[in-house]
Structure 1
Amino acid sequence: MSLHSIKSENTKEKKGNSNKYKRCYDLYAEKSATHPINKYKINDHPTDPDLSKNLILDELLLDGNAKQNLATFCQTDVDINIHTLMDKCIDKNMIDKDEYPQTAEIESRCVHMIADLWNSPDSANTIGCSTTGSSEAAMLGGLALKWKWREQRKKEGKPCDRPNLITGPVQICWHKFVLYFDIELREIPMENGRLLMSPEEVLKRCDENTIGVVPTLGVTFTLQYENVRAISDALDKYHKETGLDIPIHVDAASGGFVAPFITPDLVWDFRLPRVKSINASGHKYGLSPLGVGWVIWRGKEDIHKDLIFNVNYLGGNMPTFSLNFSRPGGQIVSQYYNFIRHGREGYRAIHQACIDHGVYIGEEIKKMGIFDLIYDGKGALPGVCWLLKKDAKVKFNLFDLSDRMKTRGWQIASYTLPKNAESMIITRVLIRHGFSRDMASLLIDDIKRCLEYFEKHPLVKPLSKEEGEGFHH
Structure 2
Amino acid sequence: MLTRDERSPTYGQEHVEGNVSDFIESTFASRYVAEPLPRYQLSEYGVPAHVCYQLIKDVRALDATPKLNLASFVTTWMEPEARDLMQDALDVNYVDTDEYPSSTEIQNRCVSILAKLYHAPSVAGEEGRGDPVGTATVGSSEAIMLGALALKKAWQTRRKAKGLDTSRPNLVMGRETHVCWEKFCRYFDVEERYVYAEEGRYCATAELLEPLIDENTIGVAAVLGTTFTGEFEDVQAIDAMVDRVNAKNGWGVKIHVDAASGGFIAPFIYPDLEWDFRLSNVASINVSGHKYGLVYPGVFMENYLGSTERSITLNFSKGASQIIGQYYQFLRLGFGGYRKIFLNLEVVRKRLRRAIQLTEHFEILSPEVGVPVVAFRLTTLTGSDGKPHHRMYDEFDLADRLRMRGWVLPAYTMCPNAENIKLMRITIREDMSVQMADQLIIDLKNAIRWLDTHFIFTAEMAERMQKKLSLERLDSSTFNSDDFTVVRPC
Q: TM-score range by the shorter chain?
A: 0.7 to 0.9
* Equivalent residue, structure 2, for 1:17: none
**1:225 — aligned with what?**
232
TM-score (norm 1): 0.86
1:38 CA displacement = 3.0
- How much has 1:280 moved relative to structure 2? 0.8
How far 1:50 sits from its partner (Å)? Answer: 1.1
The one-character-per-residue Cα deviations of 1:257-306 (angstroms, maximum 9, x if unpaired) are: 11111111100000111101000111010011111001101x2x2x4x6x
Instruction: Assess if the C-alpha contact under 8 Å between 1:67 and 1:435 holds in 2.
Output: yes
Q: SS in structure 1 opposite 2:439? A: helix
Correspondence 1:226-265 to 2 at 5 A: 226-265=233-272
In structure 1, give the amino acid aligned to 2:138: T
Q: Distance in 2 between matches of 1:287 and 1:64?
A: 20
State the shift of 1:421 in Å. 1.1
Counterpart of 1:461? 458
Contact preservation (8 Å) 1:131, 1:293: yes
Instruction: Output the CA distance in 2 between the equivalents of 1:395 and 1:442.
Output: 25
Partner of residue 89, structure 1: 89
TM superposition shift of 1:28: 4.3
Q: 2: distance between equivalents of 1:120 and 1:283? A: 22
- RMSD of aligned alpha carbons: 1.6
Classify 1:29/1:153 alpha carbon distance in 2 versus 1 (closer, same or farther; 3 Å): closer
Distance, in Å, in 2 between the alignment partners of 1:38 and 1:79 is: 38
SS in 2 for 1:408: coil
1:167 aligned to 163, 166, 173, which one?
A: 173
More divergent stretch after superposition (384-393 vs 195-204): 384-393
Partner of 2:399: 402
Does the aligned pair in 2 maintain the 1:359–1:383 contact within 8 Å? no
1:342: which partner in 2?
A: 333
In the other structure, the counterpart of 1:266 is 273
Distance 2:417 2:458 in 1: 26
Relative contact order, higher structure (CA 8 A, sep 6+): 1
Distance between the aligned counterparts of 2:287 and 2:46, measured in 1?
A: 43
Equivalent-residue separation in structure 1 for 2:295 and 2:243 (angstroms): 36
Q: Quote how far apart the aligned CAs of 1:345 are.
A: 0.7
Q: Are 2:28 and 2:54, in contact at CA under 8 Å, matched by a contact in 1?
A: no
Normalised TM-score (structure 2): 0.83
Q: Aligned pair in 2 of structure 1 residues 74, 392: CA closer, same or farther (>3 Å)? A: farther
Q: Which moved more, 1:241-250 or 1:206-215?
A: 241-250
Gapped regions of structure 1 (runs ≥ 5): 1-25, 309-318, 465-473
The match for 1:214 is 221
Q: In 1, Cα distance between the equivalents of 2:256 and 2:145?
A: 10
Kept in 2: contact 1:397–1:462 (CA 8 A): no
1:46–1:134 CA distance, 2 compared to 1 (3 A): closer
Alignment match of 1:387 (pick from 369, 373, 377): 377
**Counterpart AA for 1:401:** L
Q: 1:333 to 1:114 in 2, by over 3 A?
A: same
Shift of 1:416: 1.1
Does the residue aligned with 1:372 lie in a helix, a strand or coil? Answer: strand
For residue 102 of structure 1, what is the aligned residue in structure 2? Answer: 102
Q: Output the CA distance in 2 between the equivalents of 1:420 and 1:460.
A: 26
Does 1:152 find its partner at 2:158?
A: yes
- Deviations 1:24-58, CA, capped at 9 Å, x for gaps: xx9645142x7544311212123121121122112
| Counterparts in 2 of 1:114 and 1:463: CA distance versus 1, 3 Å | farther
Q: Report the Cα distance in structure 1 between the residues aligned to 2:110 and 2:292, rounded to whole angstroms.
A: 15
Indicate conservation of the 8 Å contact 1:249/1:278, yes or no.
yes
- The percent identity for this pair of structures is 39
Q: Deviations over 1:370-413 (max 9, x none)?
A: 2111115x321111011122346633100101111110111111
Structure 2: gaps (5+ residues):
1-26, 124-129, 381-387, 462-490
Q: Residues 262 and 351 of structure 1 are in contact (CA less than 8 Å); yes or no, is this contact kept in structure 2?
A: yes
Contact 1:131/1:292 (<8 A) preserved = yes
Distance 1:139 1:412, change over 3 A: same
CA deviations 1:144-167 (Å, max 9, x no partner) are 000010011000000000000011
CA contact 2:366–2:376 (8 Å) conserved in 1: yes
Among residues 124, 144, 147, which one is paired with 1:138 in the alignment? 144
Q: What count of residue pairs does the alignment treat as equivalent? A: 421
CA distance in 2, matches of 1:192, 1:435: 31
1:434, distance to aligned residue in structure 2 (A): 1.0
Q: Which residue of 2 aligns with 1:69?
A: 69
Q: Does structure 2 conserve the Cα–Cα contact (< 8 Å) formed by 1:257 and 1:285?
A: yes
Q: Does 1:287 align with 2:294?
A: yes
Separation in 2 of the partners of 1:237 and 1:323? 34
The residue type equivalent to 2:67 in the other structure is: K
CA distance in structure 2 between the partners assigned to 1:125 and 1:228 by the alignment: 25
Q: Secondary structure at the residue paired with 1:359? A: helix
**SS of structure 2 residue aligned to 1:212:** strand
**CA-CA distance at 1:359 after TM superposition:** 1.6
Q: Which residue of 2 aligns with 1:41?
A: 41
* Structure 2 CA distance for partners of 1:437 and 1:392, relative to 1, 3 Å: farther
